[in-house]
């Protein structure tokens, strides 16, 4: 939320009119609802401090996701964590909104646009390729995530960062007497795989030359 506020206020300082959008309830009847991650988000945005110079209502407004939310005075749009829910897809509303926005920038913060199964547990297959193609049409301009051992969330081993137009960077976390630091280990032009990250920390596995094969190789591997 702090990231969204700082990002929006930065554009507002440049004279841009920013609409911060949170998807509303999807579905109908008993199946209507909003993703748990976004529950209460709009209310929090309304109570946040948006500066002392009256940015809220003038340069920053809060809306939902959809074509009807696009006004001619809006210069750009920031969508907070747009995501599909079980039995409901946000892609159609997003596509309608981006079509209505035309060439105006649309920024997605922490999107989760992978397909979700229907309420019956069956994956939605109709139009799946089109939905995935639309989700992939957005260009990543910034990415950051902490790195842990597989299956754990502690300790923090390092971080993976990409700030456009720079490369993806892998950092190792190092403890120091007065805190911590992150040392750069490797850079990649594309999003590194799990093997790339592992190799950056421990080095690539070297194939043993003239290693015995067959039965003797099996014995040497376990002895």
pLDDT, block means (10 residues), the chain with 223 residues? 90 93 68 64 86 85 92 94 79 92 94 69 62 88 91 89 94 93 94 92 66 50 47
Residue (of 99, 98, 101, 107) closest to 79 by Cα position = 107
Are 107 and 21 contained in the same domain?
yes
Q: What is the model's pLDDT at position 95?
A: 92
- For residue 86, the enclosing domain spans 2-137
In this prediction, residue 127 carries a pLDDT of 65
Helix (H) or strand (E) holding 108: strand 106-109
Q: What pLDDT score was predicted for residue 191? A: 92
Give pLDDT, residue 162. Answer: 95
Q: Within 10 Å of residue 86's Cβ, how many Cβ atoms? A: 15
> 155 in a domain, yes or no?
yes
pLDDT at 60: 93
Instruction: Give the model's pLDDT for residue 171.
Output: 96
What's the whole-model pTM score? Answer: 0.76
> Does 52 share its domain with 147?
no
Residue 178 CA from chain centroid, whole number: 32
Domain end (from 85, 116, 137)? 137
């Amino acid at each position: 939320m702090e990231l969204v506020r700082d990002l929006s206020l930065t554009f507002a300082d440049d004279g841009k009119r920013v609409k911060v959008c949170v998807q509303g309830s999807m579905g109908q009847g008993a199946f209507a609802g909003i993703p748990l991650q976004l529950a209460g988000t709009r209310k929090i945005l309304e109570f946040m401090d948006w500066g002392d110079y009256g940015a809220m209502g003038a340069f920053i407004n809060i809306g939902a996701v959809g074509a009807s939310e696009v006004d001619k005075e809006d210069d750009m749009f920031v969508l907070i964590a747009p995501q599909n829910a079980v039995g409901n897809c946000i892609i159609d509303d997003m596509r309608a909104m981006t079509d209505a926005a035309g060439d105006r920038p649309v920024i997605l913060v922490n999107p989760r646009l992978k397909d979700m199964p229907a309420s019956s547990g069956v994956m939605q297959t109709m139009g799946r390729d089109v939905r995935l193609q639309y989700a992939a049409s957005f260009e990543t301009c910034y990415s950051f995530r902490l790195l842990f051992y597989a299956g754990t969330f502690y300790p923090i081993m390092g971080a993976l960062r990409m700030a456009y137009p720079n490369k993806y960077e892998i950092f190792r976390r190092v403890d120091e007497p007065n805190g911590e630091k992150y040392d750069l280990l490797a850079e990649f032009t594309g999003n590194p795989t799990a093997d790339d990250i592992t190799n950056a920390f421990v080095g690539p596995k070297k194939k043993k030359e003239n290693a015995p094969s067959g039965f003797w190789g099996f014995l040497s591997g376990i002895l």
